């Protein structure tokens, strides 16, 4: 059975501090209403790359405590600061996370041997399994099939969060590594990813749209491709509306419409305007109510 994970958002207070209660409410909503299979904690959707080490630790602990073993949790510990990534890997492993993930190191145009060293170092001192977070559009790092093969030589590296529009590469990777865990990271391309036999998906919009995404996965598995295409179209209508309304604050504003205190985004991301709030209300009424 393919698994669906929400990329957990981080609730912030208006002054930019972490709102732990809001995080707990989002975890509970994902468990009790979305019936999600798992949460990806500390990723792009969680605004993690703007946070201090202590803020990240608070988020990891809050999510872990609230989930209380009910669902699978993946902790994204990747950082340009390798010492921080290693410390976070140890921290979440000690907490009880059974899987970790790490974004490819970015900005400095690292050579592949440096990237491989980074991943090997993150898992070296922890008894845990790591999922590579590949998102070339934001990192500028596009790994090849042969490079994935080199990374997989480390038995602790078990798969990929594949947030990449290169579906030729996805097909090559899937067929070369049939036993590795591959989780699709583009919500708007869930259906073609399913056709290439990914093991599941991780995405930000599943916080709002898990029911429709699960129905799409079930339709695909049942061979009802027409229904799956319609559900993907409906999801993409929602995603388009969120993007046009400024997606990161809008995800939280729509959750507020659902009664969940998702809080603010972290500056320099936008704080909500009256127009964005009105747009979020319309999105909720049109696509989710």
Residue 144 annotated as lining a ligand binding site: no
CB burial of residue 92 (10 Å; 0-12, 13-18, 19+): buried
Token couple for 206: 């599943």
* DSSP sequence for 19-63: -HHHHHHHHHHHHHTS--SEEEESSTTTTGGGS-HHHHHHHHHHH
Reply yes or no on whether 133 is catalytic: yes
State the residue for tokens 């985004």: 265
Residue 93 annotated as lining a ligand binding site: no
Partnered with residue 183 across adjacent β-strands are 161, 200
Residue 6 annotated as lining a ligand binding site: no
Residue 163 annotated as lining a ligand binding site: yes
Report CA torsion sign: 89, 65, 52, 78.
positive
User: CB of 177 within 8 A of CB of 154?
Assistant: no
Residue 104 annotated as lining a ligand binding site: no
Reply yes or no on whether 281 is catalytic: no
Peptide bond into 268 cis (omega under 30): yes
Token couple for 288: 């989710």
Residue 43 annotated as lining a ligand binding site: no
Identified catalytic residue from 161, 214, 252, 266:
161
Identified catalytic residue from 133, 206, 264, 287:
133
Q: Which residues does the annotation place in the binding site for aceneuramate?
A: 44-45, 163, 185, 187-188, 204
Q: Which residues does the annotation place in the binding site?
A: 44-45, 163, 185, 187-188, 202, 204
Q: Which residues does the annotation place in the binding site for pyruvate?
A: 45, 202
Catalytic residues: 133, 161
């Amino acid at each position: 059975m393919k698994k669906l994970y929400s990329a957990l958002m981080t609730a912030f207070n208006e002054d930019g501090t972490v709102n732990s209660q809001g995080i707990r409410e989002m975890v509970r909503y994902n468990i009790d209403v979305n019936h999600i299979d798992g949460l990806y904690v500390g990723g792009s959707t969680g605004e993690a790359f703007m946070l201090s080490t202590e803020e990240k630790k608070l988020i990891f602990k809050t999510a872990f405590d609230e989930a209380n073993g009910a669902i699978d949790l993946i902790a994204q510990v990747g950082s340009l600061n390798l010492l921080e990534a290693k410390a976070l890997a140890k921290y979440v492993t000690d907490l009880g996370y059974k899987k970790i993930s790490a974004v490819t190191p970015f900005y400095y145009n690292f050579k592949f041997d440096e990237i491989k060293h980074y991943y090997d170092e993150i898992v070296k001192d922890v008894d845990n399994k790591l999922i590579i977070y590949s998102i070339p559009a934001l990192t500028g790092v596009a790994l090849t099939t042969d490079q994935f093969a080199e990374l997989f030589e480390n038995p602790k590296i078990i798969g990929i969060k594949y947030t990449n529009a290169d579906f030729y590469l996805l097909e090559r990777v899937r067929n070369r590594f049939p036993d590795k865990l591959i989780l699709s990271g583009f919500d708007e391309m869930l259906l073609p990813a399913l056709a290439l036999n990914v093991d599941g998906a991780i995405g930000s919009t599943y916080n709002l749209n898990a029911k429709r995404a699960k129905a799409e996965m079930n339709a695909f598995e049942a061979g009802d491709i027409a229904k799956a295409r319609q559900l993907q179209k409906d999801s993409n209508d929602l995603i388009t509306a969120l993007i046009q309304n400024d997606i990161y604050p809008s995800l939280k504003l729509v959750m507020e419409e659902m009664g969940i205190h998702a809080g603010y985004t972290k500056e320099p991301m936008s704080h909500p305007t009256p127009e964005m709030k009105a747009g979020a209300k319309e999105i909720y009424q049109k696509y989710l109510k």
